[in-house]
Amino acid sequence: KTATIVGCPFSGGQPRPGVDKGPIHLVEAGLIDQIAELGWKVNFDGHHQFEEVDAKVDPPIGILKNPRLVSRVTEAVAQAVSSHARKGELPVTLGGDHSLAMGTISGTLSVYPETCVVWVDAHADINTAESTGSGNIHGMPVSFLLGIGSKVPEFSWVKPLLKAERLVYIGLRDVDAGEKRILRENNIKAFSMHEVDKYGIGKVVEMALDHVNPNRDLPIHLSFDVDALDPSVAPSTGTPVRGGLTFREGHYICEAIYETGLLVALDLMEVNPSLADPASVQQTLAVGCSLVRSALGETLL
Ligand code: MN
Ligand code: MN
Ligand code: MN
């Protein structure tokens, strides 16, 4: 078994500098050796150098910011992820902002068309060109993957390969009004923090997998935004929201998905080492590494 680390130093899907430094710091924190310790052969592909798109030649489309840059980078990420997945490797993509998931999930679906997506996040990231209030594309990748909302020609490479019934969310607590409507109209299953409180994380993960993967036979892509965790657990991120997953709840999700034996791709996104004090940054990097280890089979006993 081989895991390939795809480092994506990219911040163009949102306005706060520093999230592009996430992958470098996660690797410097020892992630590669830690995964190797678990018995994986680790292939390090990155940190990817993405072609620059000058801001002067990348004016907003509607209110979408850096659209050409985000499109080109995510298309390159899709290529990287699909080429590794096609060789039977497990791509572990380190962000970078969550717009990158447009690339990672496109790449996974091109190799495993039946893949279901477990999206762990405080946010739904499902705004369309019409519904976005911020114009930050990290709040939009899911709508592009589903093919909902008006088409943005710049993103025509993104094929709408994800079906709404193959997507499930865990951890939501900051969902825009327009996004709530989109979730409802498309019948998308979501377990917010309310459901985590009500049922407990064990039951929530079971219900989430029952929805997207009832026979436990489909490949799983886990896209984990570190802001799903409570800010007291993972402070160094660009859009923290209080009332999030505990340290154990976050790890439990990763452990339970590893146990299915169906994980084919993993994203760890939105780690921003330039936000918060040094101790908080160290804490966030350590948590990021341990989430990845849990998803790759680390057990407590
Ligand atoms: Mn590569
Ligand atoms: Mn988020
Ligand atoms: Mn996100």
Burial of 285 (0-12, 13-18, 19+ CB in 10 A): buried
As a whole number, the mean pLDDT across the chain is 97
Phi and psi, residue 258, nearest 5°: -60, -45
123 alpha carbon – ligand 2 mean position (Å): 4
Residues paired with residue 120 on neighbouring β-strands, in sequence order = 170, 224
Using an 8 Å Cβ cutoff, are 234 and 284 in contact? yes
CA-based nearest residue to 69, from 96, 44, 92: 96
Q: In residues, how long is the chain?
A: 301
121 alpha carbon – ligand 3 mean position (Å): 5
Residues, CB-to-ion distance under 5 Å, ligand 2: 121-123, 225, 227
7 alpha carbon – ligand 1 mean position (Å): 9
Phi and psi, residue 256, nearest 5°: -65, -35
pLDDT higher than threshold 90 for residue 197: yes
Band (pLDDT 50/70/90 cuts) for residue 46 is confident
pLDDT higher than threshold 70 for residue 51: no
pLDDT in tens, 53-67: 776 789 999 999 999
The pLDDT, as a whole number, for residue 49 is: 73
How far apart CA 100 and CA 97 sit, in angstroms, is 6
How far apart CA 75 and CA 155 sit, in angstroms, is 9
Percent of the chain with pLDDT over 70: 98
57 alpha carbon – ligand 3 mean position (Å): 27
pLDDT higher than threshold 80 for residue 278: yes
Least distant ligand from the CA of 80: 1
132 alpha carbon – ligand 1 mean position (Å): 32
DSSP state of 38: T
Least distant ligand from the CA of 239: 2
Least distant ligand from the CA of 5: 1
Q: Contacts for 201-207 with beta carbons within 8 Å, 24 or more apart?
A: 201/245, 201/248, 201/249, 201/252, 201/253, 202/252, 202/256, 204/170, 205/170, 205/252, 205/253, 205/256, 205/257, 206/256
Q: Kindly compute the dihedral angle of the four CA atoms of residues 167, 294, 103, 46, in this order, to the nearest 10 degrees.
A: 180
pLDDT in tens, 64-85: 999 999 999 999 999 999 999 9
**Which are the catalytic amino acids?**
98, 121, 123, 125, 138, 225, 227, 270
Phi-psi region of 149 (alpha: psi -120 to 50; beta: other; left: phi over 0): left
Max intra-chain CA distance, the chain: 54
pLDDT in tens, 225-245: 999 999 999 999 999 999 999
Least distant ligand from the CA of 123: 2
pLDDT in tens, 114-162: 999 999 999 999 999 999 999 999 999 999 999 999 999 999 999 999 9
Band (pLDDT 50/70/90 cuts) for residue 52 is low
124 alpha carbon – ligand 3 mean position (Å): 7
193 alpha carbon – ligand 2 mean position (Å): 13
Least distant ligand from the CA of 224: 3
80 alpha carbon – ligand 1 mean position (Å): 5
